[in-house]
Homo-oligomer: A and B are copies of this chain.
Amino acid sequence: MSKKTGSFTLPGEAGYEKLTLELAEKWGADVIRDSDGTVLSDEITKTGYGIYSTICIIRDHNEWAKKHPDKLQQTFLMSDPVTAGSGDSVLVIRPLSGYFTEQFRVNDSADSIRYWQVFDRTADIEVDRSKWAYNAASGEVTINDCVPYHSYTVNFLAFQIWEQISMYNHVTNNWDKEHLMPIDPRTQECRDYMTKWFTDWCEAHPDTTVVRFTSMFYNFVWIWGDDERNRYRYSDWGSYDFTVSPKALDDFEKEYGYALTSEDFINKGRLHVTHMPPTKKQLDYMRFTNEFVVGYGRELVDIAHKYGKKAYVFYDDSWIGVEPYSDLFPKFGFDGLIKCVFSGFEARLCAGAKVDTHELRLHPYLFPVGLGGLPTFSEGGDPALDAKKYWISVRRALLRQPVDRLGLGGYLHLTEGFPDFVDTITGIVDEFREIKELHADGGVYTLPIRIAVLHSWGSLRSWTLSGHFHETYMHTLIHINEALSGLPVEVKFISFEDILSGSEKATEKCCDTTSCCGEENGSNKEDQAAEKKNMLGNVDIIINAGRAGSAWSGGDAWNNPELVAKLQKWVYEGGIFIGVNEPSAVSDSMYGFAMADVLGVGLDDGARVCHGKWTFDIDKELAERVFVENGTKKAANGSGSDDVKLPCKPDIYLTDGKAHVLAEKDGIPVFTMHEYGCGKGVYLTGFEKNNTSTRMLLNLLMAAKGLDKEQNYITDDPDTECAYYPGSGKLVVINNSEVEKHTEVKTEKGTIGFDLKPFETKIDKI
């Protein structure tokens, strides 16, 4: 295959055979796929292209499902609370009231009711089982001996009677067809059925070269309400709640030696959102389910392989038990991972997974409307512009770490009115192939900056928090991950447990002097070496970024003096701890941040409202180093560049007055740097991803690490970036903006200027 073909998956469409083959030629496709709602004709499948076929193994089995209504997937739900009035010693609750009854049906089998619980939420205590009963005929729970003006809820199990993705498409597009039910492979009976069905399917699809599993068995959690004013009651792209069943819970108890209750899932009606720190029980249950999904998933993959087909999995966005960064993931035996991408962090998520083939499904999909209902391939849409905008987010990530393939999805015929789009994709795919080739010639040049992002989930949730950027934009960390995805630095994701268990390697350097920072060090060298084995030796910078109490900040994990002392030691010996928003936040503590000694700032929960605040001057030299970029007009003053949106957090205060303040808002420091031994604590009130803030972050990383400001292979305009590949001597310069740019890059061979058109990529051998 020539340089200009291959590595691209085209969505084919029966009835548009000519178009399919034309575009396959134009875009240099080597694979043709089907999509939801399309089929491929023989005219397409017999032309020698590779053929992907899409399978969602747990739906489209309504006939079997109707015969086995107890084998549907389930979930715990909590009834809406009902308050007892003065005379209401007896309350009656209809559990499903308020939920979308087309999605759920109460599971009122004896097996299920064992797991139900009733709570007095006002007193925060469980109601004894002797005081309540479920009446199957009326569908009501009756609670006796209620306390007046206390509020009661029922935790119960419900079957999912409409598979949610299908439900969403059905409702959105006003389809008129049978509701698809999700079947649960937890029972042997169901697995036997699915295994046979899949074997038959492989027999019936000889032309298929790749089975594309639309993930495995369990969806993320999406609970609908009956009121259109709150249809999407709950949406968590990382939650395991839709995997429960009496059998799963019974199996869990046998395996883990303790029983889970409904309340372990319901958690006062709040459930356990992925953005909060997981509990031990939650992690146990996830592991239990992850092992189950991998175990049976492997059986299906083996069948595909037996039929000479490859098995790829489509991971969008975290279909349950299929996390690519779980240590169990390689056991699936998948040949490829396909990830739909809007953002750079999603490209890195895909690129870093341990699998042979990494493929990105680009946006926009070939659908009439896109995200939020705006037109794409219909009147008023500009799919070429959309494609360019998504591409510049993804492109910078691919400069750092490559993937193997790109692809599109949807209805190919929709491209017919949009020749601009066709040309844009041609350009993108060509650019992609060139970038891929650069990586093949050796790695990309990276600054000597090794970053660990520290949060409760660690590597399991590398790059993604859960879901897409637009679903998680309220979390500081996704902005940071997105910025990091294209920066010339090393990035990994670690958990608090990683630090405590000492899974990190020995430190490589401390201070230059033997006694760190000139202070006497009384312990002997052997002790130090032994200790360092447990420290973050191969990390230069740790980033902890999130709201207090969240999984991204860490919550109670910080109430551990061992963790704090280890990190303080690491910083003291030269590490850099960057905290953003409410890092290391702990309630009822001296300073509000467990790492306050390092950061030099604290978070007041109101207990310090009578305490004085240190006045400060802006450290202009440091602020200029971080905010100002040569040759740009995006200079910043003490209050920070307008583009670098650092919010005012009135509860932030300087602890010892020694932090350098780089920016302030309304008199409150919003960006600080604090010396701590040989290391530093850096604090920012927030981070909002854009070109300028991304460059500010890079400047900060370089300044904190102590690198000289003048580095090779950094552009001088924040709207542009570059990547240098020493193996081939090639320099890629990209324009991440919609306007023309001139940018200069210092290289080993002198400074080189580039004129770039909007969105343009230029590749020069230097």
The one of B271, B549, B561 that contacts A122, using a Cβ cutoff of 8 Å: B561
Let me know if A18 is at the binding interface, CB within 8 A.
Answer: no
A4-44: contact bitstring with B at CB < 8 Å (1 yes, 0 no)?
00000000000000000000000000000000000000000
Q: Is the CB of B149 within 8 A of A569?
A: yes
Residues of B within 8 A of A269 (CB): 590
A233-272 CB contacts (< 8 Å) to partner B: 233-236, 239, 267-271
Cα separation A628 to B650 with both chains bound (whole Å): 32
Cα separation A645 to B238 with both chains bound (whole Å): 38
Given known contacts A235-B612, A273-B608, is B590 in contact with A121 (CB within 8 Å)?
yes
Residues of B within 8 A of A89 (CB): 522
Residues of B within 8 A of A587 (CB): 587
Q: Is the CB of A87 within 8 A of B597?
A: no
Cα separation A36 to B612 with both chains bound (whole Å): 27
Cα separation A232 to B613 with both chains bound (whole Å): 8
Q: Is the CB of B149 within 8 A of A607?
A: no
**Chain B binder among A78-86, A156-164, A317-325:** A78-86
Taking the closest CB of chain B, its distance from the CB of A417, in whole angstroms, is 35
Q: Is the CB of B276 within 8 A of A606?
A: yes
Residues of B within 8 A of A523 (CB): 86-87, 148
Q: Is the CB of B561 within 8 A of A616?
A: no
Residues of B within 8 A of A233 (CB): 611-612
Which chain B residue lies CB-closest to A608? B270
Cα separation A150 to B87 with both chains bound (whole Å): 57
User: Which of A231, A276, A561 has most B Cβ within 10 Å?
Assistant: A561
Q: Is the CB of A610 within 8 A of B274?
A: yes
Q: Is the CB of B81 within 8 A of A229?
A: no
Which chain B residue lies CB-closest to A605? B549
Taking the closest CB of chain B, its distance from the CB of A766, in whole angstroms, is 46
User: Which of A86, A519, A611 has most B Cβ within 10 Å?
Assistant: A86
Given known contacts A519-B85, A520-B87, A612-B230, is B605 in contact with A569 (CB within 8 Å)?
no
Let me know if A564 is at the binding interface, CB within 8 A.
Answer: yes
Let me know if A729 is at the binding interface, CB within 8 A.
Answer: no
Cα separation A587 to B556 with both chains bound (whole Å): 14
Q: Is the CB of A80 within 8 A of B565?
A: no
Cα separation A446 to B76 with both chains bound (whole Å): 54
The one of B149, B225, B239, B568 that contacts A572, using a Cβ cutoff of 8 Å: B149
Which chain B residue lies CB-closest to A232? B612
Residues of B within 8 A of A609 (CB): 273, 275, 474-475
4 A-B pairs with the lowest CB-CB distances in the bound complex, closest first: A87-B522, A149-B565, A149-B568, A236-B610
Residues of A within 8 A of B (CB): 80-81, 83, 85-89, 120-124, 147-151, 221, 225, 227, 229-236, 239, 267-271, 273-276, 474-475, 516, 519-523, 528, 547-550, 561, 564-566, 568-569, 572, 587-590, 597, 605-616, 650, 656-657, 677
